[in-house]
Amino acid sequence: MQAIFQVEMKDNVATALEPLTPGPAEVKGDRRTDSVAVLENIPIGHKVAVNNITSGDEIMKYGVVIGRATRDIKRGQWVHLHCMCSIYDERSSHLDLYTGAPCDIKYE
C-alpha cells in the first residue's frame, strides 16, 4: 500500500513518501488515522490533506502553521500552491506548481 507520513498528530497534512495515485494510503508517524483515501495524483514529497480543510483555515505541518488554505480542500487531496499560500514566503503564490520556478519574472 502507498504511504504518507504525518509528523505531528495535530497536523492536517501528511507528506507523500512516494508518488501517490488515487486509492488508499497508509498513514505513518504521529497520526490520527491509519489510512487516507487519496483522491488525485500527488508527487513524492508533497502534502496530502488528512482531514477536510476549509478555505481560510490554517495548514498545519511539523506541529506549526505553515500557511492558509485559499479554497476548500477535501481529505485526500493534494495540498500545494494551487490551494494554499505560505505564511513564510509571500512570493509562494507566484511559483510554478510543479517546478517551483518564479512565474512573475521574465528571463530574457
pLDDT tens string 6-56: 999 999 999 999 999 999 999 999 998 999 999 999 999 999 999 999 999
Joined grid coordinates for residue 50: 488528512
Alpha-carbon span 33 to 12, nearest angstrom: 11
Extract the C-alpha cell encoding 72. 476548500
Residue with cell 497534512: 13
Would you state the pLDDT for residue 4? 98
Q: In the β-sheet with 58-61, what is the strand arrangement from edge to edge? A: 58-61, 64-69, 84-86
7 by Cβ neighbours in 10 Å (0-12 / 13-18 / 19+) ranks as: middle
Residue 61, C-alpha cell as written in the block: 505541518
- Residue 99: pLDDT band (50, 70, 90) is low
pLDDT number for residue 86: 82
